[in-house]
Structure formats: C-alpha cells, structure tokens
Chains A and B, each alone.
Chain A
Amino acid sequence: MSLILFAEQVLNGLQLGVMLFLMAAGLTLVFGVMGLINLAHGSLFMIGAFAAAAVAGATGSFLLALMAALAAAAAAGALVELVVIRRLYNRDHLDQVLATFALILIFSEGTRWVFGSFPLFLNIPDYLAGPVTLPGGIQYPFYRLTLILIGLAVALGLFLLISRTRLGIQIRAGENDREMIAALGINISGLYTIVFALGAALAGLAGALVGAIQSVQVGMGEPVLILAFVVIVIGGIGSIKGALIGSILVGLTDTLGGLLLPELFRQFMDSSAASSAGSALASMLIYILMAAVLIVRPTGLFGAKA
C-alpha cells in the first residue's frame, strides 16, 4: 500500500467525519438542551436533500439549492417542534422514541407522495467538479475538499455561537439547569424552537451537500442517523466539542479500518476470503470503538459527569 493511498484515505475519513459532525451537532444539542431523543433527525437530512434537488432542478443554481435546503429543514424542524416535540419534553424517552419514529414514517411517505418513489437528480456544480492535485501528487476530488472546509467552517461557527453569544450562553445554561433559566426570565420555549431549528438546518445542509455525491431518495437519512448516534455517544451527549472529535474519530476509524483490515487479513488468507472477513470486521469497528470508549469513560469523551 502506497503512502498516497493512505493519505487519500485520511482525507476521506476526515470528509466523512465533518459531514457526520453536521448531523451529530444538531442531535447532541437537542439531546443536551432539551433531553429529547430525536429519531426523526435523519428525516430532516432527507428534507434538506430533496429541497436542494428540487431547487437545483428548477433554477440550476447550487448555492440557491443549499439555501433552500437550510430553509426547508429549519422550517420543518421548527414546525415539528411546535406541533409535536413540544408535547414530549416531560414524557419519558420511550414515548419520545415512539413519537419521533412515527415522524420518520410520516416524513418518508410524505416525501414519496410529493416527489414520487424514484431517486432525484442532484449533482455537483461544474465549478466544484473534478479532481485537484494536492502537494505530494495526491489526486483528490475538489468537491470533497470543499466539504471538509465547509464542515470545519461550520464547526468553528458553532463554537463561536456557543461560547461568544447570548444565545450560546442561554443554550449552555439550558443544558445545566432548565428550571433556573426559566426562572431568570428567559423564554425557554422560544429557545427550544430556535435550538431545534438550528439542529434541523445543519442536518438539512448535510443532506444537500452529501446528496450531490450520493443518491437523493426516501430513507437516505436513517443510515447516517445511526452513525450520528454513535458519534454523540462517543463524544459525550450534549457536547459540541465531543461531537466534532467523535465524528472525526468515527470517520477515520471507518475509512481506515475498511482499508487496513482486509490488507492485514491478506497476509495470511487468500484474497477473496480476506476481503470478505476484513470488510465484515471493518463494519463492526466503530461499534467496537464506541464500546471501548464507554468502558473507559461511561459518559463519553467530553460528556458531563453524571
């Protein structure tokens, strides 16, 4: 295995990681601030992708498509919070899981009803298409490089929002003591709607960005949702920093594991059996990582002490 291949895979792991971060950030905020398990977060990812595909199809502009994805997912998030989620804060987690699972079904069938059962077309804009040559002779798709930069920029923006703004102070206070900040005169239900819409918008952005290189179809959010849950468990529930570190860890583990394990097995097995066994083990690797982190730190890497 060459160094170039390894370097390319590190970039791929990083790219997967930052896209996971966009999903996990919203999920962890909602769980941290409101104590809510939102299974329908993957549906917001899907809504972002469908909104982007529809707008890109109508206008041909990728930037407009991204804005539409942000707006549609944020609007859907705010609406869901006002109509459904609001009634769930004081219920136990099982009720929340049941209700948000129902939302997945409603969103999936609703999307099929509007857009049909066949996948939609959403492609990379021409100015981002094709590979670029990085120092060291690595050929890497320009679009994926852009995704890494966008992801890191959003992470920086979120850090500043949480640590430097009034809204950020309220969010952090909400995580620590809900009753207290309500008693201090903060409009807690307004805060909840804003946080939920913010998380939804990030998921929608991820859906649109990733939709351009994958397929925009009903049910596309659920596989990502599972990974995002793994990320927030590893990173520590409620911690944005944990979500970022966790996503990059998961991204790198998943990508490099898929490369290195079959390679390792090939040392003592024939090629077919090695790729089959290696990829089977590689797909377990992030769960093994999660289990290991939970053994050492039961609340996750950056989780609050229970």
Chain B
Amino acid sequence: MTLKSLAMAASMMAFGTAALGDTHDDAVRVGMITTLSGGGAGLGIDVRDGFMLAIAQSGLENIEVIIEDDQRRPDVAVRLSDEMIQSHDVDVMTGIIWSNLAMAVIPSAVAQDVIYLSPNAGPSQLAGRGCHPNYFNVAWQNDALHEAAGAYANSQGYTNSFILAPNYPAGQDALTGYKRMYEGGLAGELFTELGQTDYASEIAQIRASGADSVFFFLPGGMGIAFVKQFADSGVDIPLIGPAFSFDQGILQAVGADALGIVNTSQWNRDIDNPTNAAFVESFQGEYGRLPSLYASQGFDTANLLISALAVADPSDGDAFRAALAAADFDSTRGDFAFGPNQHPIQDIYVREVIQDGDVFTNRIIGVALEDHGDVYATECSF
C-alpha cells in the first residue's frame, strides 16, 4: 500500500465518522435555568461553568444550550420554563439549584415530555411517589449527605449531638436524614430561620446543652456566619455538616475558622481517577478558580447527556431514556449508577477542611457510606 492510498483511507475514515456524527440533522436544544444573580448566584455559576466546560470539551457542535437566570425565585423559574418548552422547544432541561424551585418547575416540565437532568436539587418528593421516567437526578437525593454525617457521628462514638437546620423543607429533610443514621441521643434540636445570619442565641444554647458534637445544615452564607461565630464563642466541641457549608466558593470567606471541620460530600477534588484530575485541571485553567462540588455536578450532568446523545436521539424517547439510565459516562466521582428511581447510587465521603498554600480546601479522610442510594426509591414506580 502506498503512502498516498494510506492517506486516502485515513481521510475516508475521517469523512465516515463525520457522517456518523451528522445523523442528528438538527441541533439538540438544552434549556438551563439556574441562579445567576442574588445571594445564591455562586452555586448556579459553578453548575453552569462545569456544564459548559464539558460541552466545550466534547467538541460537539449540535448541542445548543440556552441559559437563563431564575433569580432564585420560583415564579421566575416557572415563567422561564414555560418559555423554553413552548417557544424554544427544548429537548432537555437542567440547572435548578434550589429544591423549592425544582418542585415548581420539574413536575410540569417532565409531564410535557421534556427530559429533566437535575444538577443539584434532589427533593424527597421527586425521589419517591413523585418520581418520573423523564426525571434524572445527577447530584444526590437531598438526604444523602446528612445520612452520611449521621454515619460518621456513629463512627466517632458521638452520643449526644446538638442538631440544627433552617425551618424549611430541605432543613427538615436534613435533620431527618441525620437522625435516620445517627444512633446516639440528642442534646437539643433547633430550627433556625432561613437566611438567618446571627447565631449567638443558638450557640449559647449549644454551650448550655452539654452536647458532645454539633450537626448543622446551614448552606451558603448562613454556614459562613455560623462557623465564624462558633469559632469565636469558645465552645470547644466538634462540628459536622454536609459539604454545602464548606464548598470551594465559600471556604475562603470562612477562613481559618473552618480548618479541621469534618464534612460529607459525594465529590472532592482529590478523588483519584483520571476524569476528575482532568476536570480539576481544565476547570482551573478555564476559569482561574478551583471547582466546587456544584461545578463537578454540572460537569457530570453534561457528560451524562453527551453519553446518551451518542447512543440515541432525544426524539426517540424510550431509547434516549434508556441511554441516560445506563449512565455510561466517566463521572468525576468514579463509580456512578442510577437506582430504580433514577437517583444516584454512589459513595459519600468524609472530608476535612485543610489549608493548601494560601487556599482553603478539603481533603478526603474516609468513606462514610458506600454505594449509597436513598430510602425513597422503594416508593417509586414508573
């Protein structure tokens, strides 16, 4: 075979694959509604950046992503969702961060034959009786990280925890999740106000309760305030919480007060697999900051979508859903599979806040729960 014919064969193969990639004649439309302004914008921005990074890396040009800001308001999210489904004719939707917005948008979207891939919110209602064949959660069911915290508390021999969370559905789920796994007694149980920023009163009660540990679910700014005030109060007992108060976006704002605090997460940047290493490096290169767990969730969501698009077209509903349910993609978390309710079955890790140079970050110190699904799966039947 001459060099010329070899080159010819190679170029024909190139044409061949190009033709194969072209079988979807029109683009797949993805509608992303997420929080890009207001107090919770950091989470939405991370999800969006992680998602778009994976789309860019795939090199696919037939995916069109329409991004809109829900301002963390359910009414805005519903309006945007109607617009995306009715005027933009999207095939797939994703992006919502907050459970109350998810409850407003997802049930009606999936009923209109749109596939929904949740990159964050995992309310129990949608994992149990409200599950739907068109709804996939790529992050976690809401309870998962709290259950892991309960399991970790047992492993440390804590027998008298003080637990607190904001008084709203996800906060109540958090305490339920912790208590489901935790075997010890409770020194106290408190519901705070959503958005509360001063915890002097709660910390005084913790001090007076004689607890041996504190479990708290206070996402975002609430967590920053609590950790700083707790550190300054002189109460010297260990804190445990889910990763939402210790993600990469807010750790720098807490500073040294967070050092050594144990938290639970399904992802961390030191999970040892090639996908994760490449993700952390390319995210940092592209955006100039370390990725958070939200960014990893956005990245995984996009890669799940890309893996399914390689097998089936969204117009072929059953085949496309089967391709998504197979979860045949390389997750940044390593092992990843969907349970019967299309929520993740995955390991939940125990992390510790450390200082790396002048950056505060987490490192994994153990596994809290292996191949963990959720208790609501048994209530789900399609």
Binding site for B on A (CB under 8 A): 1-2, 4-5, 8-9, 12, 15-16, 108-109, 112, 117-121, 123-124, 129-131, 139, 141, 143-144, 210, 213-220, 223, 255, 258-259, 262, 271-272, 275-276, 279-280, 283
When A and B form their complex, which 10 residue pairs have the shortest distance between CB atoms, in order from nearest? Answer: A215-B224, A131-B234, A119-B253, A215-B221, A12-B200, A219-B39, A214-B225, A5-B208, A117-B41, A214-B197
A120 to B257 alpha-carbon distance, docked (Å): 14
> Is A117's CB under 8 angstroms from B232's CB?
no
A283: chain B residues within 8 A (beta carbon): 167, 193
> Is A16's CB under 8 angstroms from B198's CB?
yes
Min Cβ gap A257→B in Å is 10
List residues of B (166-188) whose CB comes within 8 Å of A's CBs.
167, 172, 175, 186, 188
> Is A275's CB under 8 angstroms from B221's CB?
no
Min Cβ gap B228→A in Å is 6
Specify which of B45, B188, B198 lies most central, judged by the most chain A CB atoms within 10 Å of its CB: B198
Min Cβ gap A17→B in Å is 11
A15: chain B residues within 8 A (beta carbon): 200
Please judge, given known A-B contacts A275-B191, A276-B191, whether A218 and B207 are in contact too, CB under 8 Å.
Answer: no
Q: Counting CB contacts under 8 A, is B5 at the interface?
A: no
Q: List 5 A-B contacts (CB under 8 A).
A: A8-B207, A131-B234, A141-B233, A215-B225, A215-B253
A272: chain B residues within 8 A (beta carbon): 175, 189
> Is A218's CB under 8 angstroms from B233's CB?
no
Q: Counting CB contacts under 8 A, is B249 at the interface?
A: yes
Min Cβ gap A146→B in Å is 12
Please judge, given known A-B contacts A12-B204, A109-B37, A219-B39, whether A214 and B234 are in contact too, CB under 8 Å.
Answer: no
Q: Counting CB contacts under 8 A, is B285 at the interface?
A: no
> Is B193's CB under 8 angstroms from A119's CB?
no
Min Cβ gap B202→A in Å is 8
Q: Which of B172, B207, B225 contacts A213 (CB 8 A)?
A: B225
A108 to B191 alpha-carbon distance, docked (Å): 29
Please judge, given known A-B contacts A4-B208, A123-B257, whether A131 and B200 are in contact too, CB under 8 Å.
Answer: no
B220: chain A residues within 8 A (beta carbon): 119, 215, 217
Q: Looking across the interface, which residue of chain B has its beta carbon closest to that of A12?
A: B200
> Is A118's CB under 8 angstroms from B233's CB?
no
List residues of B (237-258) whose CB comes within 8 Å of A's CBs.
249-250, 252-255, 257
Q: Which of A9, A16, A121, A144 contacts B255 (CB 8 A)?
A: A121
Q: Counting CB contacts under 8 A, is B229 at the interface?
A: yes
> Is A118's CB under 8 angstroms from B42's CB?
yes
B39: chain A residues within 8 A (beta carbon): 217-220
> Is B198's CB under 8 angstroms from A139's CB?
no
A217 to B195 alpha-carbon distance, docked (Å): 12
> Is A118's CB under 8 angstroms from B228's CB?
no
Please judge, given known A-B contacts A141-B232, A214-B228, whether A255 and B190 are in contact too, CB under 8 Å.
Answer: no
> Is B232's CB under 8 angstroms from A279's CB?
no
B38: chain A residues within 8 A (beta carbon): 108, 218-219
A267 to B100 alpha-carbon distance, docked (Å): 33
A9: chain B residues within 8 A (beta carbon): 201, 204
Q: Looking across the interface, which residue of chain B has its beta carbon closest to that of A122?
A: B253
Q: Counting CB contacts under 8 A, is B192 at the interface?
A: yes
> Is A279's CB under 8 angstroms from B190's CB?
yes
Q: Looking across the interface, which residue of chain B has its beta carbon closest to that of A218?
A: B39
A275 to B172 alpha-carbon distance, docked (Å): 11
Specify which of B175, B188, B234 lies most central, judged by the most chain A CB atoms within 10 Å of its CB: B234
B41: chain A residues within 8 A (beta carbon): 112, 117, 218
Q: Looking across the interface, which residue of chain B has its beta carbon closest to that of A16?
A: B198
> Is A214's CB under 8 angstroms from B224's CB?
yes
Min Cβ gap A220→B in Å is 7
A220: chain B residues within 8 A (beta carbon): 39, 197, 221
A279 to B41 alpha-carbon distance, docked (Å): 28
Sample of 12 more A-B contacts, CB < 8 Å, known A141-B234, A279-B192: A5-B208, A9-B204, A112-B37, A117-B45, A118-B253, A124-B232, A141-B233, A213-B229, A215-B228, A215-B253, A217-B253, A275-B190
B253: chain A residues within 8 A (beta carbon): 118-121, 215-217
Q: Which of A112, A130, A255, A280 contacts B201 (CB 8 A)?
A: A255
> Is A130's CB under 8 angstroms from B232's CB?
yes
> Is B189's CB under 8 angstroms from A275's CB?
yes
Min Cβ gap B173→A in Å is 13
Min Cβ gap A126→B in Å is 11
B191: chain A residues within 8 A (beta carbon): 275-276, 279-280
A213 to B254 alpha-carbon distance, docked (Å): 10
A16: chain B residues within 8 A (beta carbon): 198, 200
Q: Counting CB contacts under 8 A, is B205 at the interface?
A: yes
> Is A271's CB under 8 angstroms from B189's CB?
yes
Specify which of B37, B190, B204, B205 lies most central, judged by the most chain A CB atoms within 10 Å of its CB: B204
A109 to B71 alpha-carbon distance, docked (Å): 12
Please judge, given known A-B contacts A112-B37, A214-B225, whether A223 and B201 are in contact too, CB under 8 Å.
Answer: no
A117 to B71 alpha-carbon distance, docked (Å): 13
Please judge, given known A-B contacts A119-B253, A279-B167, whether A5 and B204 are in contact too, CB under 8 Å.
Answer: yes
A1 to B257 alpha-carbon distance, docked (Å): 29
A123 to B252 alpha-carbon distance, docked (Å): 11
> Is A280's CB under 8 angstroms from B167's CB?
yes
